[in-house]
Amino acid sequence: TKHVLGIKYLTAADVELILDTALQFKEVINRPIKKVPSLRDTTVANLFFENSTRTRISFELAEKRLSADTVNFSAASSSVKKGETLLDTVNNILAMKVDMVVMRHPAPGAHHFLASKIDASIVNAGDGTHEHPTQALLDAYSMRDALGGDLRGKKICIFGDITHSRVALSNVFCLQKLGAKVRVCGPPTLIPKHMRSLGVEVSYNVDESLAWCDVANVLRIQLERQDTKFIPSLREYNRHFGITRERVDRLDKPVVIMHPGPINRGVEIDTAVADSEHSIILEQVENGVAVRMAVLYLLAARRKEG
Ligand code: CP
């Protein structure tokens, strides 16, 4: 494929290839000289129509480690504010000879729309509540690392606000392709009805789900994407659905703790759990650079093959 629009469109072999290639780039970025020349003939535009800390910096570092030329665009400080359309914005940037576009946009259809209109390769860095494919890939990479390399039969539970999370859907697709057993757990109001039809177990019981899983991937409540009058108080949410120190202390086996960030400390996860010895939250961020290097490198290779 010329684009990475979502995990849904990748095969299991594509996912395995990306993760195996990322292993090699992880070794590269731990060397004293962290750069390789692979993309020195490639220009990448990072277009962010929504806020980001991790994804944006991670992609920019991945591009620089591959020796690509990079340009960064933030909608908040651009002519989008004067009414310029998405297509006009992108076509103007592409006129400056850009080969690849990494884009975050609040509209789920934005990346597919662009893919039908432009020649550059597009990487989805998050589209509304739909998909965040490179987050799922770095999550899967980090889970493989923590669990000994193979996710087949491993039990992964995604906790929290599933309805408003693009990370949840991309994780489900990615983990199923790698043979893991996937469960989601949260309040019934924050779990969409179609989850069971995707072959995902659904639970509303946090204690039972923590006892079931090998990995707990904890998601934040996305207050910016919902009408706050439907949300319980955050203190109540923590009491009933939070990954608290008390809940984790009651377990009779270690559970790997993950979170894509940004964390709402004391809401979906307690600080003592997020910063515990079983947490790999910062390893996820570290692995993200190698995974994004792999995605960009493989896409550039496909472009050259035509
Ligand atoms: N995990 C993630 O996408 O974080 P940012 O929103 O900061 O990029």
Report the distance separating Cα 110 and Cα 124, nearest Å. 9
CA distances from 206 to 21, 112, 187, 248 (A): 35, 36, 9, 10
Name the binding residues for L-aspartate: 82, 166, 220
pLDDT tens sequence across 239-284: 999 999 999 999 999 999 999 999 999 999 999 999 999 999 999 9
Whether the predicted pLDDT of 231 surpasses 90: no
Q: Is 53 in the pocket of ligand 1 (CB under 6 A)?
A: yes
Describe the strand order of the beta sheet including 121-127 as a list of residue ranges. Answer: 69-74, 43-48, 100-105, 121-127
Report the distance separating Cα 285 and Cα 281, nearest Å. 7
Q: What is the mean pLDDT of residues 202-211?
A: 98
What is the Å distance from ligand 1's center to 35 Cα?
Answer: 24
DSSP collapsed to 3 states, the chain: CCCECCHHHCCHHHHHHHHHHHHHHHHHHCCCCCCCCCCCCCEEEEEECCCCCHHHHHHHHHHHHCCCEEEEEEHHHCHHHHCCCHHHHHHHHHCCCCCEEEEEECCCCHHHHHHCCCCCEEEEEEECCCECHHHHHHHHHHHHHHHCCCCCCCEEEEECCCCCCHHHHHHHHHHHHCCCEEEEECCHHHCCHHHHHHCCEEECCHHHHHHHCCEEEECCCCHHHCCHHHCCCHHHHHHHHCECHHHHHCCCCCCEEECCCCCCECCCECHHHHCCCCECHHHHHHHHHHHHHHHHHHHHHHHHHC
CA 285 from chain centre, in angstroms, equals 10
Which amino acid does the sequence have at 178?
Answer: L
pLDDT class for 221, splitting at 50, 70, 90?
confident
The best mutation among 54, 103, 161, 220 to test binding of ligand 1, ranked by most ligand atoms within 8 Å of the C-beta, falls on 54
pLDDT tens sequence across 98-121: 999 999 999 999 999 999 999 999
Whether the predicted pLDDT of 227 surpasses 70: no
pLDDT tens sequence across 142-176: 999 999 999 999 999 999 999 999 999 999 999 99
pLDDT class for 190, splitting at 50, 70, 90?
very high
Whether the predicted pLDDT of 229 surpasses 60: no
Quote the Cα angle for 161-261-203, to 5°. 30
* Mean pLDDT across the chain: 95
Q: Are 7-132+285-305 and 133-281 the same fold in CATH?
A: yes
Atom of ligand 1 nearest to the CA of 261: 1
pTM across the whole model: 0.96
Whether the predicted pLDDT of 230 surpasses 80: no
Residue identifier of the C-alpha nearest atom 3 of ligand 1: 55
Domain assignments of the chain as residue spans, ordered by start: 7-132+285-305, 133-281
The best mutation among 47, 52, 61, 171 to test binding of ligand 1, ranked by most ligand atoms within 8 Å of the C-beta, falls on 52
Q: Is 222 in the pocket of ligand 1 (CB under 6 A)?
A: no
Report the percent of the chain where pLDDT is more than 90.
92
CA distances from 51 to 57, 106, 127, 167, 182 (A): 12, 10, 12, 15, 29
Name the binding residues: 54-55, 82, 104, 132, 135, 166, 220, 261-262
CATH class for the region spanning 133-281: alpha beta
ipTM value: 0.98
Q: Is 52 in the pocket of ligand 1 (CB under 6 A)?
A: yes
Whether the predicted pLDDT of 289 surpasses 80: yes
pLDDT at 171: 98
Q: Is 261 in the pocket of ligand 1 (CB under 6 A)?
A: yes
Contact 71, 43 (CB under 8 A): yes
Cis upstream peptide for 262 (omega within 30°): yes
pLDDT at 197: 96
pLDDT tens sequence across 65-90: 999 999 999 999 999 999 999 999 99
Whether the predicted pLDDT of 200 surpasses 80: yes
pLDDT at 228: 60
Q: Is 135 in the pocket of ligand 1 (CB under 6 A)?
A: yes
Q: Is 260 in the pocket of ligand 1 (CB under 6 A)?
A: yes
Q: Is 55 in the pocket of ligand 1 (CB under 6 A)?
A: yes
pLDDT at 222: 79
Q: Which residues contact 196 (CB under 8 A, 6 or more apart)?
A: 202
pLDDT at 304: 85
Report the distance separating Cα 175 and Cα 190, nearest Å. 21
CATH code of domain 7-132+285-305: 3.40.50.1370
